[in-house]
Structure 1
Amino acid sequence: MTQIAEAAHSAPRVTGEHPSAFPASVLAGSREGMAEVVTTLAGAIASARSARREDGPAPRGAPGDVLAAATESLGPPDVPADGIGADAALRRLATMLVEYGLDLAHPRAAAHLQPPPLTVAVAADTLASAGNASLDTYDSGPSAIAVERWVVRSLTRLAGLGERADGVLTPGGSMSNLLGLLLARDTAGQARGIDVRRSGVAALRCPVVFCSELAHFSVHRACAALGLGEQSVQPVAVDEHHRMRPEELAAALRGLDDDRTPVAIIATAGSTDFGSVDPLPELAEIAAEHAVWLHVDAAYGFGALFSERLSDRLAGLELADSVTVDLHKLGWQPAATSALLVADANAFSALDRTVSYLNPVDDSEAGYDGLLGRSLQTTRRPDAIKVAASLLAHGRAGLGSMVDVCHELAVHAQRRIAAEPELELISPAELTTVVFRYRDRSHADPDRLDRINSDLRRGLLESGVALIGRTTVRGGRPDEAERVCVKFTLLNQTATAGDIDELIDKVLLAGRACARRTEEGAA
């Protein structure tokens, strides 16, 4: 076999008599194409830098007007008969994306868990696109497979999951949660002598999935997609710190009758609104006592492991059976960059597939195998390349300092909000989010304040000067109605305390303007 490979490698390249109608530079993976990528990107970046942009993170104007103008700038909505060339096409798109898009690197962009990506990650992503490798088979991308294995091993060690751990990159946290629940579902079936993959979910008899009442909505979606049904989700109450109550979970498990099958416990490590982390050690102890799969949705919180200061907030993560990671949050990666980590690689066995044209048995036995059995996808983009570049470039210390800066900015915002009479702090900074509410000092009607908080956020967005989030939060009593709040999600490590003060000043001005308009409308 080695002699055959050597002979093939040394054979002269045979070319046809007629040259191709297309130059080599039309393909990004060729040497000429790589040079063309650099040239055309340089032109596009020059156009982007000269594009018109007001001082703010969002385009100014009502949504319909912005979308209409953006669409019009692309030209008629038809595939053109003749192209305008790579340089002109990229310059047009670059200008349009800047003028009508978001500037996530602006210090007043604070709406979602959507970070400005690292420069090295974007550059690496371009390399990944040029190579166009896939992870399903060895002959679709051997180097990319090696990169993903390296990244997965690095992340499982960071999480403390042990030497038997494994994982896979996915298109996003929702897919990671789906995959984690799929493994939990199949494991619950195996414990009862049921092959769910072949027999279906009906034999599981009233499956139950426990999660915090603040769990991400993707848990419900996953249960629906997996045939468990959204009604299988049993929410567990949280405490005043927005963390799942272990005693409530334990009581719910003890209360199950023999006709119900506990499939999984879903803990949250970094809730979307509050950054709260469920008590993982206590939940792991309960899961072990009842032999139930423990999945930790650490899509937001996993990045805290980079920080020496904040990593202890995820104590107990190493006890999970599976973990969702989103590095396009506290990892500053271009979306989408998620992963599912598992404590035992054997958990992936339910996903094994042997396909004659992809991974025949004799190829696999000879070492020519890929990662088809780790994912619900077949063709899978090598997103690990940008992660590897970021880990190598910045290391844990560099990424950890970025996490710390964003946390400090959130703490600064918390203090400033708490000191403002017109603002009410709803939730302090656990990670990098702060939830609060504008309150009109002259009126205390909660419905009126709901309208003001909704309007002020939209007003800031339409003016383009600031981008902040919103949510609803229930008061301290179970019978209290949910109230509209606004929130900062701070993921810009280049922002300063002064930038946060300016952002809060914009919120105050918008709140006062909305309060006046509400007062005039009621008069």
Structure 2
Amino acid sequence: MKKSTVQLTPAHVEPKVYEDHWNTDGSAHVKAPKWAKYQSITASEFPSPFRGKTDPLAHQIGKFVERIDMLRPEKDGPAYLGKNAALSYTYPDVKNVAINQKMGDLDTVLDEVVELFEGLPNWGSPLAMCNVIPQSNTAAIIASMLSQVFSANILEGEYAQNVHKAELETAGMIGNLFGWDPVKAGAIYTWGGGGCWTYGTKYGLTRVLPNSRTKGVRTDAKVICSQQAHFVQLNATDWTGLGSDNIVHVRTDPDTNQMDVEHLEEILKGFKADGTPVATIVCTMGTTDASAIDPIRKVREVMDRYPNPKGYGKTVLYADAVVGWSWVYFATYDFENNPLEFSDRILPILKQNGDAMKDLMVADAVGIDFHKVGWSPYVSSCFVYKDAEEFENLHRWGGDSYLQVRTPYNPMYHTLEVSRTASGSLAGWTTLKYFGMEGMQAILGGILETKYYLYDLIKTHPEMICVNPDDTGLITLFRAYPEGVDAAAQYKKELNDESARDDLIKHNKLTHAIGDKLYEWFRAGKKIDGKYTPYMSFSTGFRNTRYNIDGTDPDAVIYALKAFPMNVFVTPEIMKWALHCVNAAKAEVLKS
């Protein structure tokens, strides 16, 4: 039998043959080949490029809103979406799947999308208080969506046009907040707080090791940060090729969790003596659990006394402010007249936080997250730098033959990502425009009022103790002891007296178990006294004990339950209910 052959070079086709595939309205002719019929279907379901009432996107969004509404719980419902919070798949078997041969039905596929959100935490629920994950504001959601509709790519001006303005004006508005020259400042919206950390590390390597961009990192330059710095330090040093062994940790104060500047000076003095360059010093301006803010102005003063050896560039001072950045809104608040009428109790805290963030002006670069304390959609992290000319020239590459410079701003030449969606920049920029100064101040101050209300509630429970009463952030960390235990006295012993180490570990295990029980109840949709349980979390070591300052004993750390009410729907009743559920979970754990 003669074998069939496949023609590998295109055969000549008369234009008329192709033209006969289509009707005059652009749809596929009944006798058209299958590929043309498929194209006709997709054209009828893609967003319309023209104005009109038949846009498939507008039609589907209308139907999608109804689907989304059905995901939301009834009032006083659980803190998750849908009716079942359990996972609908098993791992790794879930990956045993193939692409369908036939094209899918749009409605069916979108129904499957909605099903994926079954059981997702509902961040707008007042019962959701597990971490610094707020509900997104409406203006930012819509702005972010618009970028997806029109595919604004902020790699360069030709594909972004005026949408680039969102990133450029962010640099100016944030630069103004920090006290920088807004025209000289720059900003890059990136993939997350880890992206900001990576940019901060790379900035230091490029500035300090002038040949590293072409020759690679051939010198063990150091990245210095505190013991409380975010674990993404490992990612940043790994992916830049520096290596995590070149991270140097500065001790932190046992009371404030702030960087010990005297210890920093010892480290810098040693590096100066042996000729070791420092690429980047990172100040953490608001840790997730302890809300610690490093004394960045003092850090600047110390690092300027110990410049890098001859032949190396100047160390970069990077501020990891992804959690704490928005306190800078209070740097210029009128505390004397108090126009937003905050309570006398929180005014000094707001002022303290605002004053601390004033010192961001001494940083070379700052990382901020709008999707944390900015109430914006993921992903809207922003790496902001003081001297755009220096940063962008340091990281600039030449042009490409297929991309043309059409506008004055073309970040493809100095960014890691090159192609970047504008969804993050639009979300952040819109949030800045929408809230303004007073809107953001009101939300931040309001949540702080809630925090101290919860703190007072905890004090009415003698078996509970707030373990971060002096922290000035939005989080409340507390421990719940067995009935009959004086929590204040017991915690004091466990924190300060090594002879109480065994008790500390025992009660850490209790804290862990309470946190797990609450999570189990949340996922199961359990009700107590007819009401759903909150979605809370816990920290497995937000600080070291005083007899473990150097952190060498992994067990001599403080576990704590975590309440992080980040949304505008929280009420006093919700906070009372959270503590009631903690006690119920504790009783259940101790009973088993």
Using the TM superposition, give the Cα deviation of residue 249 of structure 1 relative to its aligned residue in structure 2, in angstroms. 1.0
Identify if the C-alpha distance between structure 1 residues 115 and 433 changes in structure 2 by more than 3 Å, giving closer, same or farther: same
Give me the whole-angstrom Cα distance separating, in 1, the residues matched to 2:300 and 2:378: 30
Question: Who is 1:288 aligned against?
Answer: 304
Give CA deviations for 1:377-419 in whole Å, capped at 9, x if unaligned. Answer: 1210002112222222221211221111122212222222233
Question: Who is 2:262 aligned against?
Answer: 247
Indicate yes or no: 2:565 matched with 1:490.
yes
Identity %: 19
Q: Which moved more, 1:46-55 or 1:172-181?
A: 46-55
Query: How many aligned positions are there?
Result: 490
Name the SS of the counterpart of 2:88 in structure 1: helix
**Contact 2:72/2:82 (<8 A) preserved:** no
Question: Who is 1:68 aligned against?
Answer: 89
Using the TM superposition, give the Cα deviation of residue 52 of structure 1 relative to its aligned residue in structure 2, in angstroms. 7.6
Using the TM superposition, give the Cα deviation of residue 60 of structure 1 relative to its aligned residue in structure 2, in angstroms. 10
Question: Who is 1:463 aligned against?
Answer: 521
**Contact 2:463/2:484 (<8 A) preserved:** no
Give me the whole-angstrom Cα distance separating, in 2, the residues matched to 1:28 and 1:60: 28
Identify if the C-alpha distance between structure 1 residues 385 and 475 changes in structure 2 by more than 3 Å, giving closer, same or farther: same
Using the TM superposition, give the Cα deviation of residue 59 of structure 1 relative to its aligned residue in structure 2, in angstroms. 7.0
Question: Who is 2:107 aligned against?
Answer: 87
**Contact 1:132/1:381 (<8 A) preserved:** yes
1:424 to 465, 476, 486: 465
1:315 to 358, 362, 373: 358
Q: Which moved more, 1:267-276 or 1:346-355?
A: 346-355
* Amino acid of the structure 2 residue aligned with 1:377: E
Identify if the C-alpha distance between structure 1 residues 459 and 29 changes in structure 2 by more than 3 Å, giving closer, same or farther: farther
Question: Who is 2:343 aligned against?
Answer: none
Indicate yes or no: 2:82 matched with 1:42.
no
Question: Who is 2:418 aligned against?
Answer: 378
* Amino acid of the structure 1 residue aligned with 2:445: D
Q: How does 1:168-183 map to 2 (within 5 A)?
A: 168-183=188-203
Question: Who is 2:512 aligned against?
Answer: 454
Q: Which moved more, 1:407-416 or 1:338-347?
A: 407-416
Identify if the C-alpha distance between structure 1 residues 103 and 248 changes in structure 2 by more than 3 Å, giving closer, same or farther: same
Q: How does 1:12-411 map to 2 (within 5 A)?
A: 19-20=26-27, 21-22=40-41, 26-28=45-47, 30-31=49-50, 35-51=55-71, 53=73, 55-58=77-80, 65-68=86-89, 77-82=97-102, 85-97=105-117, 99-163=118-182, 164-189=184-209, 194-202=210-218, 204=219, 206-239=220-253, 240-256=255-271, 257-291=273-307, 292-307=315-330, 308=333, 309=350, 310-345=353-388, 346-359=390-403, 363-364=404-405, 367=407, 370-382=410-422, 383-411=424-452
Gaps of 5+ in 1: 1-14, 518-523
Question: Who is 2:15 aligned against?
Answer: none
TM-score norm. by structure 2 comes to: 0.77
Identify if the C-alpha distance between structure 1 residues 62 and 16 changes in structure 2 by more than 3 Å, giving closer, same or farther: closer
Give CA deviations for 1:8-46 in whole Å, capped at 9, x if unaligned. Answer: xxxxxxx99672524755333623599432321222221
Identify if the C-alpha distance between structure 1 residues 242 and 329 changes in structure 2 by more than 3 Å, giving closer, same or farther: same
1:412 to 446, 453, 458: 453
Larger Rg: 2
Question: Who is 1:6 aligned against?
Answer: none
* Amino acid of the structure 2 residue aligned with 1:501: K
Q: Which moved more, 1:379-388 or 1:256-265?
A: 256-265
Identify if the C-alpha distance between structure 1 residues 494 and 198 changes in structure 2 by more than 3 Å, giving closer, same or farther: same
* Amino acid of the structure 1 residue aligned with 2:393: S
* Amino acid of the structure 1 residue aligned with 2:414: R
Identify if the C-alpha distance between structure 1 residues 111 and 136 changes in structure 2 by more than 3 Å, giving closer, same or farther: same
Query: Hey, which of these two has a bigger chunk of helix by percent?
Result: 1
Name the SS of the counterpart of 1:247 in structure 2: helix
RMSD over aligned CA atoms reads: 2.9
Name the SS of the counterpart of 1:201 in structure 2: coil
Q: Which moved more, 1:80-89 or 1:225-234?
A: 80-89
Give me the whole-angstrom Cα distance separating, in 1, the residues matched to 2:106 and 2:572: 42
1:474 to 535, 544, 556: 544
Identify if the C-alpha distance between structure 1 residues 33 and 459 changes in structure 2 by more than 3 Å, giving closer, same or farther: farther
Identify if the C-alpha distance between structure 1 residues 369 and 27 changes in structure 2 by more than 3 Å, giving closer, same or farther: farther
Give me the whole-angstrom Cα distance separating, in 2, the residues matched to 1:430 and 1:492: 18
Identify if the C-alpha distance between structure 1 residues 59 and 142 changes in structure 2 by more than 3 Å, giving closer, same or farther: closer
Give me the whole-angstrom Cα distance separating, in 2, the residues matched to 1:489 and 1:331: 15
**Contact 1:209/1:233 (<8 A) preserved:** yes
* Amino acid of the structure 1 residue aligned with 2:263: E
Name the SS of the counterpart of 2:366 in structure 1: strand
Using the TM superposition, give the Cα deviation of residue 94 of structure 1 relative to its aligned residue in structure 2, in angstroms. 2.3
Give me the whole-angstrom Cα distance separating, in 2, the residues matched to 1:127 and 1:62: 31
* Amino acid of the structure 1 residue aligned with 2:201: L
Identify if the C-alpha distance between structure 1 residues 106 and 488 changes in structure 2 by more than 3 Å, giving closer, same or farther: same
**Contact 1:58/1:461 (<8 A) preserved:** no
Identify if the C-alpha distance between structure 1 residues 100 and 131 changes in structure 2 by more than 3 Å, giving closer, same or farther: same
Name the SS of the counterpart of 1:295 in structure 2: strand
Give CA deviations for 1:111-155 in whole Å, capped at 9, x if unaligned. Answer: 122111111111111111101111112221112212221122212
* Amino acid of the structure 2 residue aligned with 1:348: E
Give me the whole-angstrom Cα distance separating, in 2, the residues matched to 1:60 and 1:131: 30
Using the TM superposition, give the Cα deviation of residue 457 of structure 1 relative to its aligned residue in structure 2, in angstroms. 1.5
**Contact 2:186/2:384 (<8 A) preserved:** yes
**Contact 1:137/1:368 (<8 A) preserved:** no
Name the SS of the counterpart of 2:478 in structure 1: strand
* Amino acid of the structure 2 residue aligned with 1:152: A
Using the TM superposition, give the Cα deviation of residue 358 of structure 1 relative to its aligned residue in structure 2, in angstroms. 4.5
Give me the whole-angstrom Cα distance separating, in 1, the residues matched to 2:413 and 2:382: 15
Indicate yes or no: 2:481 matched with 1:439.
yes
Name the SS of the counterpart of 1:109 in structure 2: coil
Using the TM superposition, give the Cα deviation of residue 77 of structure 1 relative to its aligned residue in structure 2, in angstroms. 4.4
**Contact 1:167/1:374 (<8 A) preserved:** no
**Contact 1:281/1:315 (<8 A) preserved:** no
Using the TM superposition, give the Cα deviation of residue 320 of structure 1 relative to its aligned residue in structure 2, in angstroms. 0.2
